[in-house]
Copies of this chain bind each other. A is one copy, B any other.
Amino acid sequence: MAFRLLAFLLALGGILSCESRFMVYNTSAGIHPTKLNVHLVAHTHDDVGWLKTVDQYYVGSNNSIQGACVQNVLDSMVPALLADKNRKFIYVEQAFFQRWWRDQSEMIQSIVRKLVQSGQLELINGGMCMHDEAVPHYIDMIDQTTLGHWFIKKEFGVTPRIGWQIDPFGHSAVQAYLLGAEVGFDSFFFGRIDYQDRAKRKNEKSLEVVWRGSKSLGSSAQIFAGAFPENYEPPSGFYFEVNDDSPIVQDDISLFDYNVQERVNDFVSAALKQANITRTNHIMWTMGTDFKYQYAHTWFRQLDKLIHYVNLDGRVNALYSTPSIYTDAKYATKRAWPLKIGDYFPYADGANAYWTGYFTSRPALKRYVRVMSGYYLAARQLEFFKGRSSSGPNTDSLADALAIAQHHDAVSGTEKQHVADDYAKRLAIGYAETEALVASSLACLVESTSPMECGNPTTKFQQCPLMNISYCPPSETILSKGKGLVLVVYNPLGWEREDIVQIPVMMESISVQDSEGGDVESQLIPITNPYLKLRSYHVKAYLGRNAGGAPKYWLVFSVSVPALGFSTYSISHARATGARSTKSSVYKILPGKNSGISIGQGNLNVAFSAEGKMTHYINGRRKEHVELSYSFYSGSNGTEEDPQKSGAYIFRPNGTFPLSPATETRMTVVHGPIIDEFHQQINSWIYQVSRVYKEKEHVEVEFIIGPIPIDDGIGKEVATQISTSMKTNKTFYTDSNGRDFIERIRDYRTDWNLEVNQPAAGNYYPINLGIFMKDNEKEFSILVDRSVGGSSLSDGQIELMLHRRLLLDDSRGVSEALNETVCVENKCTGLTIQGKYYFRFDPLGEGARWRRSYGQEIYSPLLLAFAEQDENYRKNSRTTSFSGIDSSYDLPENIAILTLQELDGGKALLRLAHLYEMGEDEDLSVLTSVKLKKLFPGKKIGKATEMSLSANQERAEMERKRLVWQVEGEDEDTEVSRGGPVNPAKLVVELAPMEIRTFVIEFDQLDSVSDA
């Protein structure tokens, strides 16, 4: 038997004494003028879906996947903040906050309101989610931010001051200037920038900059932007979640393991290290990370102690802070900051870890989000025209679903499969309600004798959300003689629009009339097998039933639709004597067994070689060489030196392999009065149609890709190359979230001397609207139908990555391979995607016009609604044509309506956007006016108040409060063009290039007896 006397003499003293030792920690420190100030920002990062769905994260279910419960975070925050008025906390994701808010008692709500008012709880960023910055469309970013900001304004009367995009995988110019400066943020913080960039910035103390994201708006839309030195987590050893194993501050001398001095030393040392790479005597510590503060008390208990003892020590000054306080402290130093332009794409966190795969991951989800985005824009217009009803269907659930889908693990494609399914389900539910709203709104407009009067419409309009898989029950009926189909075609754009409509039909004998009964030329294009296969498989997969008899043709005809309005067409069985659709002439040819192919009967001709290879683009002015090809990258399984795999986030190719068109498969040529097509089966799992419209000068390329074979055990990332003979000098241009274009130079970064490790992955950029390149004479532009990754990996060539199927996880947390499948009766096959891109040559300096205007058409396709033209339909008088704006007025060609939406109390939210950048087009990149009065025929504008972008404060107020940051080496502000103030009588709005202006419009009551 042996005594263990280990150092007990040391420990005598206070040990085991029983006197009370209730401690009051001094947490009152503010900013110290000379010491290093360590701003402790208590925060949680709550993904609005990732490994679990948003609802699972909220309630804390499915914890076997990830222990995370946002309800805990918010529940525990309240008493933790009440316990000490110096404690502060920030909260970001409104999707969670709103769920929580409606669960709370009035008492808790009232407490939380006080916490917000006192600044203890600061709601920052404030959108529904922390949206991704690579793949969302800027309209979605605005909408989801607005949704959150409105809620915050309504419930708390405050406006978020800080952009807090700490987790997204790279940062966009649009985020900085539009979703930053233009929503009134004073600063913008983030955690992820390229590792090479970060190293240089640490060295130069330039992690914190003034960022001007827009060439056009320059310093008028700049923001103070700070990249964190490592990530958005606490310094190593300062994690205090329940069960975290960082050493807690043990300050009870009556217990063993007292460690106050040790912990203070750790703190000071981490602070000094960060001070070394930071300008001014202010550094920020992000005290939290993913889903932390489930029991907020565990963090604050330690933070209280750290502040108390660190400040007693006195070497540095520790304080409870928020990004707002930090920002103000930085600002108060009156320093000038390095200037940053452009963006922070692509992001790499290692030599072989370029996060450029996710630009394309889950292409079907990306397309679904984009389609819903355009539909939501149109639906809000129709909701406005009809008037929101409290009882009927509305657009709110689609708004919510779309907002959530912008999350940086949603549309980005970096979530688990079941979570991707959840986003899609939410969109489908939101769509279903909105579809009903759209149908009833159209019915109202059709049935009402005067605009804006809607009774109880009887017309049942049907729409075809599954048109993408050639499935449209209302148009697939066999029309008996004398019966017909009414097609209402709605145009959400602000201009009258000529476009082609394309619907599947069963019959060969069809005639189309406009609303005046005039015959409309139409063409029937046979629906080829690959489309029919897609249709039958996916109807079964997603609707759980057989698709029924297949339609034989696409019926195609031109329509003309007024701005924000509709036209009506009727489709009927052709009478023997009347006009009827032209059947396309169809040739099937074998590669090499022909003398070359050409399609296009209008302005544009496209030539193919005898083997089926596209060779030339010929319009009236020029003949341009162009070739299309496909290849795949085999996804890396990691190498011995670096185990990094290609996955949902990361594009790490292990070689690239061309996919040559089959030489034995027949190709199909379709000619007709409206459309010419060239169909070819590239290989057993890629089908391509090249399409040319009469009177259009772009080529439409439609692809069906999948299932990508994996029976060789190799994950594949499928790309297409569009090659020209242009000399592009490594330079190309990609859009930022569908808005500004940014110059990209292959193997080059503006901000640092790039070490090229991944020649393909490291040159990929996100594409939302399009990509273009130019030489001394011309521009070559490609537009896309969803976000994709792309690049120009050799001069004159553009590459788009269209689909990815991978077999390994890339170790960024999702722990699943990106291997999407579609299942019928438990038999699953790899996901097949279908999509389009569009290309066109233009003379140098003239490409923007097509990119901007056709880009609008891609984003806002015509909305089709069908009704049976039975007796009931015809006997009522009908409105066959409608425009929501003054019929004498079209919007200027360079201005778009981003939002027209009814607000509470009959007000309207209107966003107008200049579509062109400074210098982008000789004629269109100019200050342009819009007459507001023309936009609201039949209403009288009482007041038009200009608002911040997210409409949560008046623009004037926002400008008044805005911090004016100084840029290093810049003495004076440069002049930036902006539209002037709006004269309340004239109500004419000027917009400068790239400007977006947001208004809340109040209407005077017309014809009403008096104000209540």
Give residues in A with beta carbon < 8 Å to B. Answer: 1-9, 11-12, 15-16, 18-23, 53, 55-56, 58-64, 67-69, 71-72, 75-76, 79, 98-99, 102-106, 242-245, 247-248, 250, 252, 255-257, 294-295, 297-298, 301, 363-364, 367-368, 371, 396-397, 400-401, 421-422, 424-426, 428-433, 465-466, 468-469, 538, 541-543, 786, 822, 831-835
Does A255 contact B1, Cβ atoms closer than 8 Å? no
How far, in whole Å, are A11 and B428 apart by their CA atoms in the complex?
11
CB neighbours of A8 from chain B (8 A): 425, 428-429, 432
Residues of B within 8 A of A243 (CB): 63, 67-69, 242-243, 294
- The winner among A61, A422, A426, A466 for most chain B CB atoms within 10 A is A61
When C-beta atoms are compared, the residue in chain B nearest to A61 turns out to be B248
Q: Contacts of A60 on B, CB cut-off 8 Å?
A: 248, 298
A25, chain B: closest CB distance, angstroms: 12
In the complex, besides A3-B368, A5-B543, A61-B248, 7 extra interface pairs with C-beta distance below 8 angstroms are A4-B542, A8-B432, A11-B429, A22-B102, A55-B256, A63-B243, A67-B242
Distance (whole angstroms) from the CB of A234 to the closest CB of chain B = 15
Max chain B Cβ within 10 angstroms of own Cβ: one of A53, A250, A429, A432: A429
Chain B: CB-nearest residue to A1: B367
Q: Is the CB of A12 within 8 A of B61?
A: no
In the complex, what's the smallest C-beta–C-beta distance from A244 to chain B, in angstroms? 6
A832 to B61, CA, bound (A): 52
**16 pairs across A/B with beta carbons < 8 Å?**
A1-B363, A1-B833, A1-B834, A3-B424, A3-B428, A4-B368, A6-B421, A16-B396, A19-B102, A61-B248, A62-B245, A67-B242, A68-B243, A72-B297, A72-B298, A242-B243
Known: A59-B252, A61-B257, A72-B295. A21 touches B102 (CB 8 A): yes
A832: chain B residues within 8 A (beta carbon): 2
Question: Pick the contact of A831 from B2, B294, B833 — CB < 8 Å?
Answer: B2
In the assembled complex, the Cα of A4 lies from the Cα of B432 at a distance in Å of 12
A975, B256: Cα distance in complex, Å: 52
A2 vs B543: C-alpha distance when bound (angstroms): 11
B22 lies within 8 A of A252 (CB): no
Chain B residues contacting A428 (CB-CB under 8 Å) are 3-6, 8
- By a CB distance below 8 angstroms, the chain B residues around A244 are 63, 67
Contact in complex: A297, B255 (CB < 8 Å): no
**Minimum distance in angstroms from A296 CB to a CB of chain B:** 9
The chain B residue sitting closest to A151, CB to CB, is B18
Q: From residue A148, how far is it (CB to closest CB) to chain B in Å?
A: 13
Chain B proximity of A641: nearest CB distance (Å): 31
This protein's copies in its complex:
2
Instruction: Assess the A18–B102 pair: CB atoms within 8 A.
Output: yes
Contact check, B55 vs A835: say whether CB atoms are below 8 A apart.
no
CA distance A541 to B4 in the complex (A): 9
From B55, B255, B301, B431, give the contact of A257 (CB < 8 A): B55
Contacts known (A4-B425, A428-B3); A76 close to B297, Cβ less than 8 A: yes
| A132 smallest CB distance to B (angstroms) | 18
| Inter-subunit contact A429/B12 (CB<8 Å) | yes
- Docked complex Cα distance between A22 and B468 (Å): 42
* Contact call A255/B72, Cβ cutoff below 8 A: no
| Cβ contacts under 8 Å, A541 to chain B | 2
Q: Are B16 and A421 in contact (CB under 8 A)?
A: no
* Interchain CB contact under 8 A, B6 and A425: yes
Chain B residues, Cβ within 8 Å of A430? 16
Question: If A59-B250, A429-B11, A542-B5 touch, does A103 touch B21 (CB 8 Å cutoff)?
Answer: yes
Would you call A297 and B12 a contact (CB within 8 A)? no
4 pairs of A and B residues whose beta carbons are closest in the complex: A67-B243, A4-B424, A1-B367, A295-B295
Q: CB within 8 A of A103: which of B106, B252, B833? A: B252
- Chain B, Cβ-Cβ closest to A835: B1
Contact of A433 among B12, B426, B831 (CB under 8 A): B12
The residue of chain B having its C-beta at the shortest distance from the C-beta of A371 within the complex is B1
A294 closest partner in B (C-beta): B242
| Contacting pair A466 B252 (CB below 8 A) | no
Contact between chains at A422 and B468 (CB < 8 Å): no
Cα–Cα distance between A169 and B541 once the two chains are bound (Å): 56
CB contact under 8 A between A20 and B61, given known A5-B543, A542-B3: no
Give the contacting residue for A2; candidates B5, B53, B429, B542; CB below 8 A: B542
A356 CA / B63 CA spacing, docked (Å): 38
Shortest CB–CB separation between residue A1005 and chain B, in angstroms? 28
B18 touches A256 (CB 8 A): no
Set B15, B248, B834: member contacting A59, Cβ < 8 A: B248
A242 to B538, Cβ gap below 8 A?
no
> Which residues of chain B have C-beta atoms less than 8 A from A18's C-beta?
98, 102, 396
Q: A1-B368, A102-B20, A243-B63 are in contact. Are A15 and B248 (CB under 8 A)?
A: no
Contact of A69 with B102 at beta-carbon distance under 8 Å, contacts A250-B61, A256-B55 already known: no
